[in-house]
């Protein structure tokens, strides 16, 4: 059993802390946000993650898990301090390391015994070296502090499962001692461990995330070409997926990736390359394709409708993906302001993301348009002139093609997640545009009707 402190209780820090407690370590989670700390002490999770609250309550009750804003008491006698604070994007694309630097300084001023500082946040290659130097510079007591890298690979929406059943644990260390401490901490998880040096560990995280972003952008690029040449991206993806060299995951075309990681991690790696006088052409292409992809359907709809002014627009899904209430870099955040700017009367549905979205766009008048948050999809679709699908929530997938035809004033659907079968939408009489597949235009619908009459 190790005595562990975790700095930052976001998706990474809190889930790591809870899972460390679950496997038997003594854990204190530290955050600067007092409200959040009080909420966690009351057994509530500040983020939406399956299974998280149950484990928080169980381990808090057993005394293995605690929360505090008092970093000094948490850090002073910890065997290991994990850093899981944010590394957000700066205007030039580089990672903002100020939160990491603050924690490093707090650690240097607090530790009273030898300890391993573990950077879990995603940081540019070389940051661990800087953190170690920084801590040495500010260290108050005569103790040994070493820094190790342990990047996180969880996916939001399945964070607890991904942590307890990770496909691999990457540890980047510069000494036998640091490697042994980290291996000891992860031993109860019984997972494959890949042990490398610190810089390689830092790079593994970016290289992995950016590879996935590239895969998505590649499929979106191919999808756009499919539309032009009459191929179907879903059939193409299916055909590709049987090739084990390619793999079946991350082949879904759509309106681009979002979230707190892919957008910022692609830009950060591109920026790191630039700083080293190298142009990372592949990653740059992934970023460019993604940027264009996000408003692709809006642009198509603009052409079709000329203006959104006074139209009832149903928006289904606001979060960047299902299973989370996180909106960071979500397609909705790009498209909703464009619709509002045009005077749209938006009715937005999201099973858990609406509250967060309302903080950015409060209910009621928003510039030239209005936005209303509804708790059921029928309410959004009833009498709507057009519908946009931004997130593939189960609740949205459950809406039948016939419902669009029956409920909407004009059954016109722009599906950014390729939820529906094109033929079924055609049969139901829905004008339907998706990504990389045959569009069901008004002409196609009319032709189908004529054929039916004959």
Interface residues with ligand NAD (CB under 6 A) are 7-13, 30-33, 36, 84-87, 99, 102-103, 121-122, 152, 154, 156, 260-261
Burial class (CB in 10 A: 0-12, 13-18, 19+), 100: buried
Q: Check 19, 29, 226, 261 and give the catalytic one.
A: 261
Asked if residue 111 lies in contact with residue 176, where contact means CB atoms within 8 angstroms, the answer is no
Q: How far is the CB of 43 from ligand NAD (least distance, A)?
A: 17
In this complex, which beta carbon is closest to ligand NAD, that of residue 81 or of residue 178?
81
Q: How far is the CB of 287 from ligand NAD (least distance, A)?
A: 16
Using CA atoms, how far apart are residues 281 and 273, in angstroms rounded to an integer?
10
Using CA atoms, how far apart are residues 239 and 249, in angstroms rounded to an integer?
13
Q: How far is the CB of 372 from ligand NAD (least distance, A)?
A: 28
3-state secondary structure (DSSP) of residue 131: helix
Q: How far is the CB of 83 from ligand NAD (least distance, A)?
A: 8
Dihedral over Cα of 179, 185, 188, 189: its sign:
negative
**261 a catalytic residue:** yes
Q: How far is the CB of 406 from ligand NAD (least distance, A)?
A: 39
In the bound state, the residue with its beta carbon closest to ligand NAD is 10
In this complex, which beta carbon is closest to ligand NAD, that of residue 249 or of residue 454?
249
Which residues are within 8 A (CB) of 391 and not within 5 positions of it... i.e. 6 or more apart? 316, 317, 318, 319, 320, 321, 322, 330, 332, 350, 353, 417
Chain CA centroid to CA 92, Å:
21
Secondary structure (DSSP) of 65-82: EEEES-HHHHHTT-SEEE
In this complex, which beta carbon is closest to ligand NAD, that of residue 154 or of residue 178?
154
Using CA atoms, how far apart are residues 373 and 378, in angstroms rounded to an integer?
12
Using CA atoms, how far apart are residues 5 and 24, in angstroms rounded to an integer?
14
Using CA atoms, how far apart are residues 316 and 380, in angstroms rounded to an integer?
8
Residues annotated catalytic, as ranges: 261
């Amino acid at each position: 059993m190790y005595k562990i402190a975790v700095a930052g209780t976001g998706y990474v820090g809190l889930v790591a802390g809870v899972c460390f407690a679950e496997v038997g370590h003594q854990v204190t989670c530290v955050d600067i946000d007092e409200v959040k700390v009080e909420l966690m002490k009351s057994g509530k999770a500040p983020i939406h993650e399956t299974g998280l609250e149950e484990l928080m309550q169980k381990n808090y009750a057993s005394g293995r898990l605690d929360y505090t804003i008092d970093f000094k008491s948490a850090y002073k006698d910890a065997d290991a301090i994990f850093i899981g604070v944010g590394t957000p994007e700066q205007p030039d694309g580089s990672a903002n390391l100020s939160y990491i630097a603050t924690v490093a300084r707090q650690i240097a001023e607090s530790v009273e015994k030898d300890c391993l500082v573990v950077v879990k946040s995603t940081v540019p290659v070389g940051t661990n070296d800087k953190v170690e130097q920084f801590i040495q510079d500010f260290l108050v007591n005569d103790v040994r502090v070493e820094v190790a890298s342990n990047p996180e690979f969880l996916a939001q929406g399945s964070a607890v499962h991904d942590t307890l059943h990770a496909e691999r644990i990457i540890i980047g260390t510069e000494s036998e001692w640091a490697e042994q401490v980290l291996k000891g901490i992860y031993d109860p998880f019984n997972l494959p461990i890949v042990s490398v040096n610190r810089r390689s560990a830092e790079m593994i995280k970016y290289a992995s995330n950016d590879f996935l972003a590239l895969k998505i952008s590649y499929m979106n690029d191919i999808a756009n070409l499919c539309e032009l040449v009459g191929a179907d991206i879903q059939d193409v993806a299916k055909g590709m997926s049987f090739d084990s060299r390619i793999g079946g995951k991350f082949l879904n075309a759509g309106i681009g990736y979002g979230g707190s990681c892919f957008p910022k991690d692609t830009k950060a790696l591109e920026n790191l390359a630039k700083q080293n006088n190298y142009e990372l052409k592949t990653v740059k292409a992934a970023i460019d394709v993604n940027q264009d992809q996000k408003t692709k359907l809006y642009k198509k709809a603009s052409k079709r409708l000329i203006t959104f002014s006074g139209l009832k627009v149903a928006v289904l899904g606001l979060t960047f993906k299902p299973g989370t209430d996180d909106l960071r870099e979500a397609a909705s955040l790009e498209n909703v302001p464009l619709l509002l700017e045009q005077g749209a009367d938006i009715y937005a549905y999201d099973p858990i993301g609406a509250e967060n979205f309302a903080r950015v766009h409060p209910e009621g008048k928003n510039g030239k348009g209005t936005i209303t948050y509804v708790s059921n999809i029928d309410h959004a679709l009833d009498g709507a002139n057009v519908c946009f699908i931004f997130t593939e929530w189960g609740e949205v997938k459950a809406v039948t093609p016939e419902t669009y035809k029956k409920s909407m004033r004009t059954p016109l659907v722009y599906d950014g997640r390729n939820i529906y079968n094109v033929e079924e939408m055609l049969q139901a009489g829905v004008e339907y545009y998706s990504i990389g597949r045959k569009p069901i235009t008004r002409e196609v619908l009319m032709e189908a009707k004529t054929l039916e009459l004959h």
